[in-house]
Amino acid sequence: MTAKPRIALVIGSIRPTRFADKPAQWMLKQARARDDMEVELVDLRDHPLPFFAEVASNLHAPSKDPEAVRWQERIAGFDGFIFVVAEYNHSITGALKNALDQAYKEWNRKPFTAIAYGGAGGARALEHLRGIAVELQMVSTRSAVHIGGSDFMKVFPMGGNQPIEEIEQALLPAATNALEELSWWARATMVARTPTTSAAQPSASATH
């Protein structure tokens, strides 16, 4: 029987005043309540990555920066990802984009879902993330958790700053669906990535 997928919950904001910890801890609780995955918190604050400046992605040339290598080693062992997505100016944070750029092989053929937040529920940022992830040969779940509108203002520090449990009932259906899909895809891609079943590695675009 296939081992439980190892899932990383990646906090994609590094601002000192970030809101990300509240949704991250809530989503971590939902994921750890399941018996079909093992989940670890991965905080970009713990990985002071420089801006990407390698000669190419690590698909074509080993990265030279030690922090980039440490980051690649950190995420390589995971079978899927949950991204905590803050929306900055209709897109993802620069820190998350840089973290995605600093690896390539480690993302390939692995699924992800997200918990996103912002005035529009982080929907625009998540769509940008999905576009980036396609180029990294990842698989996006259809479902994701969106915290937006009046619910967002209830729990946001500059709004009501209430515990996220105050809006939990609105989030739970999406979280359940997202985690179900993530579990399914993680198990499917784990099998597909085994040496006996995986096909030849697709070629990456010339931009990598």
Residue 173 is encoded by which pair of tokens? 């259906």
Cα–Cα distance between 196 and 61 in angstroms, integer? 26
Non-local CB neighbours of 10 within 8 Å, separated by 6+ positions? 42, 43, 44, 81, 82, 83, 84, 96, 99
- Whether the pTM exceeds 0.85: the reply is yes
CB-facing half-sphere around the CA of 160: CA atoms within 13 A: 13
Cα–Cα distance between 25 and 30 in angstroms, integer? 9
Task: Encode the chain (208 residues) as per-residue pLDDT tens digits.
Answer: 468 999 999 999 999 999 999 999 999 999 999 999 999 999 999 999 999 999 999 999 999 999 999 999 999 999 999 999 999 999 999 999 999 999 999 999 999 999 999 989 999 999 999 999 999 999 999 999 999 999 999 999 999 999 999 999 999 999 999 999 999 999 999 999 988 754 455 555 545 5
Asked whether 58 and 25 are in contact (CB, 8 A), the reply is: no
